[in-house]
Amino acid sequence: MFDDLSNGTSPKGNPPELSRDEELHAYREMLLIRRFEEKAGQLYGMGQIGGFCHLYIGQEAVVVGMQMAVREGDQVITAYRDHGHMLVCGMDPKGVMAELTGRRGGYSRGKGGSMHMFSVEKNFFGGHGIVGAQVPLGTGLAFANKYRGNGNVSLTYYGDGAANQGQVYEAFNMAELWKLPVVYVVENNKYGMGTSINRASALTNLSQRGASFNIPGRQVDGMDVRAVKEAGEEAVDWARSGKGPYILEMLTYRYRGHSMSDPAKYRSKEEVDKMRHEHDPIEMVRQRLIASGRATEDDLKAIDKEIRAIVNEAAEFAQTDPEPDVAELYTDVVRV
Amino acid sequence: MATQVLMPALSPTMEEGKLAKWVKAEGDDVRSGDVIAEIETDKATMEVEAVDEGKIGKILVPAGTEGVKVNTPIAIILAEGEEAGASLNGAGKTNGAHAPAEAATGGGEAARAPVDVRVKETREDAAPAAWDAASEIPEGTELVQTTMREALRDAMAEEMRRDGDVFVMGEEVAEYQGAYKITQGLLDEFGARRVVDTPITEAGFAGLGVGAAFAGLRPIVEFMTFNFAMQAIDHIINSAAKTHYMSGGQIDCPIVFRGPNGAAARVGAQHSQEYSAWYAHVPGLKVIAPSTAADAKGLLKAAIRDPNPVVFLENEILYGIAGPVPKGDDWLVPIGKAKIARPGKDVTIVSWSRGMVYALDAAKQLEAEGIDAEVIDLRTLRPLDIDTVLASVRKTNRIVTVEEAWPVCSVGSEIVAQVVAKAFDYLDAPPTKVSGEDVPMPYAANLEKLALPNAQKVVEAVKAVCYRS
């Protein structure tokens, strides 16, 4: 899995340690995403969630580490595997889950669904369903930051599948040309739907895809929240200081299928199991906390319990909240 | 042998221009490729190069002469040893100069930037004849004769002065002053921060503009023509039009996509498509297609202020046409309101943009034959002001729609469907569409003419619904 790192540009060796509070924060945030997604999978199986539902399980360290590297006002935009991004931006799990079930208390009042959620208040700009389209959009957020001189940075996420879309490179070119404050975070989970990166990409080191625009890039162990945070800080500082865009390739892995309807015939169960058992982002933090004596099993159990309560409350709300009023069919088509 | 240098054309639609400057004088030696003169139209300046070697024998058109017709001899180049006044060899009477498109477009992008769109105002299909400015403009308002090109530029400049969040971006909008000179002067006034030259990257800059609009800026995105916006249509529809709805009303997208739409002249199928129906189909967009300078200005200002994504379809052939525009910076035209451009009682003709030229011309011809046509300029295609159309049809009992677009699933089709559904009992004849032909635009002059509607086709359609043919 991390063979790529040997020819990458990321420094070898262990990333800087986190403080106790940071480790606990990362543990808690990643666990929230994991439990939330497991619950979403359950609700999907029960028919409570319809359509497409793309789970983030396995990739939690990426958004949690990146969010630890930014400051208030920085924006986040991504494609449709977006539940984790929303939760780390501080969006209410109840509102996210209720959108998944298409209820009126959802962030888009039930009109967006899993792939289309936004929170201007939390600087989360979606939630986009067209592979790669969010990259120019996120670059536009950065353009607005520069236009206003507000010092904010746009975190623009995309996957290894989107990395082959032409508009990604149109955006790279303008971002570097105009030195826009954007960090491109490519979440390389090794599969664009059912096609492995080796079958889809001529150059599989996605951190180098900015080379022809002179955009620096790094490969990062996206399963290690410490490595993500450290790389995120370097990239965000670069962008914020006016040097233009930066590409971070997060080497990560999704445990679940592309979407809930994925039969997963394209990879072996052993591959998935090996990743879960040897590189699980949450388990690695848990083991460090216990081994260092910074937390006890009981401390972590208390966090688990608290997270389960939050997720259960969200699920309960998402199943009992009414569907949108039928009058909502024609609202919000245009701003009046 | 002596060779005549002829006034070159900068574009297929140019008929005349100004001979701005002679770089060479009589008696000067010239070599192939030397610049001998500069010519100008209202939107471009270009150098005239010598093709043959020789000596400038005589300058026939002095510098500063306006209105020099294309193909007029402007100078005579003498071959070695010839004297001024040497008789012109018949076979040598060729154009001794040529005007490379690169000189005018600056980037070798001749196909993307037909460089001149000057249309003489006396031209047969020029200014819609019967536009009734007084119907909307308060009495006593001072009117200034303005081309649509200037009206569009003024609209942007005024809104940029009014709101610091408004900026314009696109290919050649800044230093080149606009491929069609619509953004002329904006860079000088507002600077490169707000007048942004983009690379040739439609999907990229359309998406970037939408992202900036999500963040609260008010971009005006110029497409050099809407033909190139097909590269970006995913962002116009999936990103701009749908996000307000998909976000439950949280995200606004105050952006204007504007540029010339439809056929210019002799630029072939890929540069001659009319997109009204494509965008009018999409909930979440507003779609505007004005036919007069006053409407262009008032509607573009309204579009820039609108909190929604607006597709603003201009027409290259109309850019050079002047009309009365209210003076001052507070002239707004409401989006979604059609205008009765010519009142009448016998038949309703509905059109927009360049179709209005044919519609009004036809109405004039029909008047001579005793048919009093009411002509409606839709101006906005979405939301469609169907009420104005229906009220007219209930009065006239007949309707003909006029558009340059293809006939299948067109805006005309939509109007006909709604009229049939909502005013069926008022109709005395089948609603009829006049449109472009159902073919990619041909290049040959005669075929192109056949592919487009014209006043005669409108006259015939009207006579048919009046049972007068």
Q: Tell me the ipTM for this assembly.
A: 0.91
- Partner residue opposite B248 with nearest CB, options A108, A145, A171: A108
- Is B201 in Cβ contact with A173 (below 8 Å)? yes
Where residue B71 falls among pLDDT bands split at 50, 70, 90? confident
Q: Which residues in A lie closer than 8 A to residue B246 (C-beta atoms)?
A: 108, 111-112, 116, 118, 126-127
The residue from B202, B316, B404, B448 that is catalytic is B202
Mean pLDDT to the nearest integer, B362-389 = 98
pLDDT at B115 over 50: no
Grade residue B32 by pLDDT with cuts at 50, 70 and 90: confident
For residue A126, the chain B residues in CB contact (below 8 A) are 243, 246-247, 251
Quick check: is B281 catalytic? no
- For residue A333, give the amino acid letter: V
Helical residues (DSSP H) of B38-185, grouped into ranges: 101-105, 148-162
pLDDT of res. A160: 97
Instruction: Give the residue from B231, B246, B384 with the most A CB atoms within 10 Å of its CB, the best one to mutate.
Output: B246
CA distance A209 to chain B (A): 17
Q: Which of B27-36, B42-51, B260-269, B349-358 has the lowest mean pLDDT?
A: B42-51
C-beta atoms of B211 and A145 within 8 A? no
Distance from CA of A100 to the nearest CA of B (A): 13
Q: What are the chain A neighbours of B228 within 8 Å (beta carbons)?
A: none
Residue B388 has pLDDT above 50, yes or no: yes
Judged by CB atoms closer than 8 Å, whether chains meet at A108 and B246 is answered as yes
Tens digits of residue pLDDT in B179-217: 999 999 999 999 999 999 999 999 999 999 999 999 999
Query: What is the nearest CA distance from B164 to chain A, expressed in angstroms?
Result: 10
Q: Is residue B129 scored above 90 in pLDDT?
A: no
Domains along the sequence of chain B with CATH? 3-105 (2.40.50.100), 139-326 (3.40.50.970), 339-465 (3.40.50.920)
Q: Which of A179, A134, A333 is nearest to B243 (CA)?
A: A333
Q: In this model, does residue B367 exceed pLDDT 60? A: yes
pLDDT of residue A1: 44
pLDDT for B85: 55
* Interface residues on A facing B, Cβ-Cβ cutoff 8 A: 75, 77, 106-112, 116-120, 125-130, 133, 135-145, 147, 166-167, 170-171, 173-174, 177, 331-335
- Please tell me the predicted confidence (pLDDT) of residue B46: 81
pLDDT < 70 stretches in chain A: 1-12
CB atoms B308 and A335 under 8 Å: yes
Asked whether the beta carbons of residue A174 and residue B198 sit closer than 8 angstroms, the reply is yes
Q: Which helix (H) or strand (E) element contains residue A185? A: strand A182-188
Instruction: Provide the token pair at B125.
Output: 């299909």
CA distances from A267 to A52, A196, A254, A280, B443 (A): 21, 9, 12, 18, 53
Give me the pLDDT at residue B275, please.
98
From chain A, the residues in CB contact with B235 under 8 A are 133, 136-137
Query: Mean pLDDT for chain B?
Result: 89
Q: Is there a contact between A143 and B211 if contact means CB atoms under 8 Å apart?
A: yes
Q: Which of A118, A135, A170 comes nearest B247 by C-beta?
A: A118
E runs forming strands in B343-454? 347-351, 373-377, 380-382, 399-402, 432-434
Distance CA B208, CA B221 (A): 10
Residue of B nearest to A143 (CA): B212
Residues A267-307: tens digit of each pLDDT: 988 988 999 999 999 999 999 999 999 999 999 999 999 99
Whether residue B383 is preceded by a cis peptide bond, meaning omega within 30 degrees of 0, is yes
Residues of A in contact with B245 (CB under 8 A): 111, 332-333
As a whole number, mean pLDDT of residues B152-177 equals: 98
Shortest Cα distance, chain A CAs vs residue B228, angstroms? 14
Residue B372, burial from CB neighbour count under 10 angstroms (0-12, 13-18, 19+) = middle
Q: How far apart are CA B1 and CA A331, in angstroms?
A: 76
Tell me the per-residue pLDDT of A23-57, one tens digit each, with 9 for 90 and over: 999 999 999 999 999 999 999 999 999 999 999 99
How many CA atoms, within 13 angstroms, populate the side-chain half-sphere of residue B331? 27
Test A140 with B243 for CB contact under 8 angstroms.
no
Interface contact B208-A75, CB threshold 8 A: no
CATH architecture assigned to A60-91+115-303: 3-Layer(aba) Sandwich (3.40)
Average pLDDT over residues B380-396: 98
Does residue A27 or residue B47 have the better pLDDT?
Answer: A27
Rounded to the nearest angstrom, the minimum Cα separation between A72 and chain B is: 15
- Taking the CA atoms of residue A215, residue A221, residue A222 and residue A223 in that order, the dihedral angle to the nearest 10 degrees is 180
Please say if B66 is a catalytic residue. no
What is the reported pLDDT for B104?
37
pTM comes to 0.87
Whether B244 sits inside 8 A of A112 (CB atoms) is no
Residues B93-105: tens digit of each pLDDT? 444 444 443 333 3
The mean pLDDT of B218-233, rounded to a whole number, is 98
Cα–Cα distance, B218 to A287 (Å, whole number): 50
Closest chain A residue to B251, measured at CA: A120
- Condensed to tens digits (0 to 9), the pLDDT of residues B240-274 reads 999 999 999 999 999 999 999 999 888 999 999 99
Decide: A140 and A176 in contact? Cβ < 8 Å.
Answer: no
Q: Which of A52-56, B54-58, B453-457 has the highest mean pLDDT?
A: B453-457
* Mean pLDDT for the stretch of residues B399-409: 98
Q: Which of B208, B239, B284 sits opposite A174 (nearest CB)?
A: B208
Structural tokens at position B201: 């990257």
Contact pairs from chain A to chain B, CB under 8 Å: 142
- Check residue B12 and give its pLDDT: 66
Minimal CA separation from B413 to chain A, in Å = 23
Q: Which residues of B touch A (CB under 8 A)?
A: 167, 193, 198-199, 201, 203-217, 234-235, 238-239, 243-252, 283-284, 286, 307-308
The DSSP code for B440 is: P
In sequence order, what are the residues at sequence separation of 6 or more whose Cβ sits closer than 8 angstroms to the Cβ of residue A62? A84, A185, A187, A222, A228, A250, A252
Preceding amide of B440 cis, omega within 30: no
Read off the pLDDT of residues B313-345 as tens digits, 9 standing for 90 and up. 999 999 999 999 999 999 999 999 999 999 999
pLDDT band at B135 (very low <50, low <70, confident <90, very high): low
Task: Quote the radius of gyration of chain B (alpha carbons, Å).
Answer: 24
| Six-digit token string for B406 | 């293809």
Give the pLDDT confidence score for residue B84 in this predicted structure: 58
Structure-token match 């009014």, residue found: B162
Q: Is B428 helix (H, G, I), strand (E, B) or coil?
A: coil
- What are B447's two structure tokens? 């075929």
Pick from B211, B217, B286: CB nearest A136: B211
Task: Please state the three-class secondary structure of A119-181 as a single string.
Answer: ECCCCECCCCCCCCCHHHHHHHHHHHHHHHCCCCCEEEEEECCHHHCHHHHHHHHHHHHCCCC
What is the distance in angstroms between the Cα of B253 and the nearest Cα belonging to chain A? Answer: 9
Q: From the candidates B271, B274, B316, B404, give the one annotated as an active-site residue.
A: B271
